[in-house]
Amino acid sequence: MLQQQLRQHQWKAFRRNPMFERNLAVRIFMYFIFGLIAVEFLGFGFVLDMFLLKAGPYERAIDTFNAILPYFFVLDFIIKFFFKTNESMQIAPYLSLPVKRNKLFDFLLRKEFTNFWNFYFLFLVVPFAFKAVTPFFGFPAAVLYILLFFLLCVANSLLVSILNNLIRKSFWFYSLPVVRVAYPFFLIFGCKIDLGGYIAQSGEMFLNYNVWIYAAFIVFFLALWYINRLQMRDRLYYELQGDKVDKISSFSSLSFLDRFGVIGDFINLELKMILRSPRLKQQVVFSGFLIIGLFFYMLYAPKNIFAASGPFIFLLYGMMAVGLMGIIMGQYLFTSESSFFDGLASRKIPVFELLKSKYILYCSYSLLVTLLLLIPAFQGKISGFLLVSLLFYVTGPIYFIIFQNAVYNKTYFDLFDKGMWNWKGQSGNMIAITMITMFVPIILVLILNAVFGEIVSNSFMLITGLVFTLTSKYWLAWIYNRFLKRKHKNMEGFRSN
């Protein structure tokens, strides 16, 4: 009865929300995308066993599948870490009622069993399990295997919730997700441990109804559940004490930036905004890992599908890898401060210095990625001349176009909105301009490359990049003056939330 009443309360809170129509539209869109992914996974699940029999080293497809589970759940962890939000509700109003707190915490934790983030891989595993497990271990074992896989997905979600709660307390806990992602690869490639073989043996023991495997998993799952409950109690305590804001993150500033005065202060504020905004953090951090990872894959994987697509894809990913922070954040140049821009405008804040600080931060990011790409450059995977040309081409004309187009973006941007593919805060014109900004400069370089050769096209990128980068002080001032002429019109749009 209590669980049903709590579900009704949450539905009423969703239904009576002033943004109900928008939230409903977002959910419908997400369910539509989820349905498309489910259909694709379902179709692939029926042929996965045949693919694994050909590609895997084991005689049974289920053993090969178990051997790749560490990579599978690393991918699941990354997706949930960046996209999934922790289950939450307003618990304080129930504390005056004769309801135990643990029942409220368990209600939130049980919602993980109905969260669609824990279901999408099941459409792949269910048909595969019945085809790959049933002939060798029987129908009950196939059902138990599907249940185990689902509970492992839920356990991954519980682990993500634990790490997210720790990150709220200290910025340094970001190292834990990195460890979670890296340790299977470290064990396999660094320590030369056959982790896949051990997992395949454990999976066979599970399908043969080994009691110790069942007991170990139950203890592991209950430990994650108990830790989540303790964290919920701890978070509720701080909320009741009024310390909620102080416990968001211990990241305050990078002290070495203090010597740069106002510019350093603005850079620190920009970094805080990115790390504390769920939407910006998802876009910058997740996209950064994805794009840079794909670019390294293009460099090191022989005969990969991207390299076969021609130089356009290579240049596109190269520019995106080097300039990703500026490309993403540049379109929110002023709208990222839309929630408090009235406060900025009413104070003696040097907006031009704010503009310069953003440009310096984005260029610093581009420089760091370029230094990272020097490793494959020294190994002969990429031309050093091309790499330097890409750096200045991004910090010059690419950032110039993005910055000057951002002046026209006057939509309200909610920093604490969720969602990687959330289009709120972006106008259709801005999206179109951003796409043009990415493709037109690349097409121009490709034309030069086709007509005059690689040296001429790289020289063109380097020369134009140096011209725009060295004259950045002047075109930033031009952008600032253009924004001043539109300031009140843009601020009116910022208030239309």
Instruction: Tell me the pLDDT band of 167, cut-offs 50, 70 and 90.
Output: confident
pLDDT digits (tens, 9 = 90+) for 197-212: 888 888 888 988 888 9
Any idea where the domains of the chain sit in the sequence?
2-247, 255-494
Amino acid identity of 487?
K
Is residue 247 scored above 90 in pLDDT? no
Is residue 473 scored above 70 in pLDDT? yes
| Residue 304 Ramachandran class (φ > 0 left, ψ -120 to 50 alpha, else beta) | beta
Residue % of the chain over a pLDDT of 70 = 73
Judged on CB neighbours under 10 Å (0-12, 13-18, 19+), 3 is exposed
Is residue 475 scored above 80 in pLDDT? yes
Average pLDDT, the chain: 78
Query: What distance in Å separates the CA atoms of residue 28 and residue 134, rounded to the nearest whole number?
Result: 36
Determine the pLDDT at residue 120. 81
For the ranges 67-81, 180-194, 227-241, the lowest mean pLDDT is seen at 227-241
Query: What distance in Å separates the CA atoms of residue 129 and residue 337, rounded to the nearest whole number?
Result: 50
pLDDT digits (tens, 9 = 90+) for 218-238: 999 999 989 988 887 777 666
Determine the pLDDT at residue 426. 55
Cα 64–chain centre separation: 29
Determine the pLDDT at residue 245. 42
Residue with more model confidence, 33 or 118: 118
From residue 304, how far is each of 300, 314, 315, 378 by CA, in Å? 9, 11, 15, 21
Is residue 108 scored above 80 in pLDDT? no
Judged on CB neighbours under 10 Å (0-12, 13-18, 19+), 400 is buried
pTM higher than 0.75: no
Residue with more model confidence, 324 or 249: 324
Query: What distance in Å separates the CA atoms of residue 82 and residue 324, rounded to the nearest whole number?
Result: 17
pLDDT digits (tens, 9 = 90+) for 26-53: 667 667 777 787 888 888 888 888 888 8
Instruction: Tell me the pLDDT band of 402, cut-offs 50, 70 and 90.
Output: confident
Determine the pLDDT at residue 404. 80
